[in-house]
């Protein structure tokens, strides 16, 4: 594969390693799809639990009362941020003990976090257990899964990223009603312990099958300092930062809006499930389209559509079904933002740099979540007082619109950096 500077030129399949050494499996083959299956299972048990958090969010808002929206917002924010921020830690752990044992370690830590959360009764305790500890644990298998796709896929990398991201949607659909049922018919503590066991078993089984496609060359970069100063990584990172400032708003607050519009608990849970159904279908569709027209192109389109639809439907309608429809649309479109961004870097940097470069990107994502969650919680509290949720929907639209603009700038930069190397599909 030809290179210019530190960037790889995207191709439609790199078999050079396989041809030079037949013992190295070809990318996009049967083994690649087998490994992808277990990467999907990892995401069911990590991002799937995270995508089910709105059920817990609704429970926390009811349990701790009004006026605590900002504090409660920290729980989900810390969870998502930790999953991404601690990928910096995951990269050197992978370099030290390998993908299999890194994944096992993360599954154990994440399960312990949920177990401790089952004994928690205060917001700060839940932020540390359900948020920080579970997020730290799941960061390890999460990065392993993302990096596996970059290693094992080339022609279908976008589709591969989309499929593993669909695991989060599948997990959300399956786990959301189960968690709701366990909380209602048993207890909050029971729900946490059941999910704890599931996470440990699912991640543990999946870890057994994780394997590098190309034997380690000894050149794996533990922390890619060059990526920190790389203008292309910076532009992609800042774009995701603004997108993630807005990301949790529809995900966490639309189910509560359903209740505010007179919907039942079941209708609220349905909105969570619809968002996850949208996430599954969107992940596959956006991944397929990314391989056809380019990752950045499809994300820009999706970001602009989110920026238009969220305020238009949220503020322009007054019934429950409209919010449920918006939940599905948001899940579908945001799948591009969630699943394909790592694929941008995976396609432009070689597999030895992939874990380090992607982990640097995830730091930007984590910062966006850390900034966005508490701000959204504070804006929510204000919206409740004035009985007007327009500021929250506008905040969401602004974040995604700025994210799209920055991706356009990133496209302009990399085209100038590598003149004549890239066509429209970027």
> How does pLDDT run across 13-27, given as a tens digit for each residue?
444 454 455 667 777
DSSP per-residue letters across 230-292: -HHHHHHHHHHHHHHHHHHHHHHHHHHHHHHTT--HHHHHHHHHHHHHHHHHHHHHHHHHHHH
- Per-residue pLDDT band for 100 (boundaries 50, 70, 90) equals very high
Residue 9 placed within a domain = no
Element (DSSP H or E) covering residue 391: helix 390-417
Arithmetic mean of pLDDT over the chain: 84
Q: Are 239 and 49 in contact (CB under 8 A)?
A: no
- The CATH number covering residue 384 comes to 1.20.1250.20
Q: Which of 201, 162, 204, 107 is nearest to 334 (CA)?
A: 162
pLDDT score, position 220: 53
> How does pLDDT run across 228-268, given as a tens digit for each residue?
888 888 999 999 999 989 988 998 889 889 988 888 888 88
Q: Residue 399 phi/psi, 5° resolution?
A: -60, -45
Q: Residue 3 phi/psi, 5° resolution?
A: -135, 155
**Residue 341, domain extent:** 21-417
Cα 3 from chain centroid (whole Å): 29
- Per-residue pLDDT band for 3 (boundaries 50, 70, 90) equals very low
Q: Residue 5 phi/psi, 5° resolution?
A: 65, -135
Element (DSSP H or E) covering residue 392: helix 390-417
User: Which of 151-165, 217-231, 301-315 has the highest mean predicted lDDT (pLDDT)?
Assistant: 301-315
Please name the residue ranges forming H helices in 294-353.
295-316, 320-348
Residue 187 placed within a domain = yes
pLDDT score, position 22: 65
Residue 119 placed within a domain = yes
Residue 12 placed within a domain = no
> What is the tally of structural domains in the chain?
1
> How does pLDDT run across 124-161, given as a tens digit for each residue?
999 999 999 999 999 999 889 988 887 888 777 778 88
- Residue 10 pLDDT > 50: no
Residue 425 placed within a domain = no
Rounded to whole angstroms, the Cα distance separating 303 from 403 reads: 7
Residue 40 placed within a domain = yes
Q: Which of 349, 380, 76 is nearest to 219 (CA)?
A: 349
Q: Which of 44, 13, 35, 38 is nearest to 26 (CA)?
A: 13
Residue 16 placed within a domain = no
> How does pLDDT run across 166-195, given as a tens digit for each residue?
888 788 888 988 999 999 899 999 999 999
Q: Is 150 helix (H, G, I), strand (E, B) or coil?
A: helix
Q: Which of 174, 45, 51 is nearest to 107 (CA)?
A: 45
Residue 426 placed within a domain = no
> For residue 96, how many other CB atoms are within 10 A of its CB?
10
Give the global pTM.
Answer: 0.73
């Amino acid at each position: 594969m030809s290179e210019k500077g530190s960037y790889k030129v995207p191709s439609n399949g790199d078999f050079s390693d396989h041809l030079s050494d037949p013992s190295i499996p070809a990318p996009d083959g049967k083994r690649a799809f087998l490994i992808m299956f277990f990467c999907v299972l990892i995401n069911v048990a990590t991002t799937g639990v995270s995508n089910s958090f709105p059920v817990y969010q609704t429970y926390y808002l009811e349990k701790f009362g009004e006026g605590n929206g900002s504090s409660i917002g920290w729980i989900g924010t810390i969870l998502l941020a930790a999953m991404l921020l601690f990928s910096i830690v995951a990269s050197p752990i992978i370099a030290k003990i390998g993908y299999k044992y890194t994944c096992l370690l993360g599954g154990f830590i994440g399960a312990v976090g949920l177990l401790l959360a089952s004994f928690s009764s205060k917001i700060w305790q839940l932020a540390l257990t359900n948020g920080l500890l579970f997020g730290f644990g799941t960061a390890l298998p999460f990065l392993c899964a993302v990096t596996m796709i970059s290693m094992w896929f080339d022609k279908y990398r976008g589709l591969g990223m989309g499929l593993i991201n669909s695991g989060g949607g599948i997990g959300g659909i399956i786990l959301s009603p189960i968690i709701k049922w366990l909380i209602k018919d048993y207890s909050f503590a029971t729900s946490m312990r059941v999910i704890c066991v599931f996470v440990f078993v699912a991640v543990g089984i999946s870890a057994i099958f994780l394997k590098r496609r190309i034997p380690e060359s000894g050149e794996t970069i533990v922390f890619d300092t060059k990526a920190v100063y790389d203008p292309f990584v910076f532009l992609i990172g800042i774009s995701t930062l603004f997108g993630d400032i807005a990301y949790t708003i529809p995900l966490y607050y639309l189910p509560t809006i359903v209740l505010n519009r007179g919907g039942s608990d079941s209708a609220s849970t349905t909105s969570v499930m619809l968002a996850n159904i949208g996430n599954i279908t969107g992940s596959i569709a956006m991944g397929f389209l990314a391989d056809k027209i380019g990752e950045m192109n499809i994300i820009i389109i999706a970001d602009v559509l989110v920026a238009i639809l969220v305020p238009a439907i949220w503020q322009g309608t007054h019934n429950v079904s409209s919010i449920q429809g918006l939940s599905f649309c948001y899940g579908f479109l945001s799948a591009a933002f969630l699943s394909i961004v790592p694929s941008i870097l995976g396609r432009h940097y070689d597999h030895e740099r992939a874990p380090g470069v992607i982990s640097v990107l995830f730091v930007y994502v984590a910062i966006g979540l850390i900034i966005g969650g508490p701000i959204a919680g504070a804006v929510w509290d204000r919206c409740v007082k004035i009985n007007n949720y327009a500021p929250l929907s506008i905040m969401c639209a602004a974040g995604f619109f700025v994210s799209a603009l920055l991706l356009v700038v990133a496209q302009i930069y990399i085209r100038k950096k590598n003149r004549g190397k890239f066509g429209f599909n970027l």
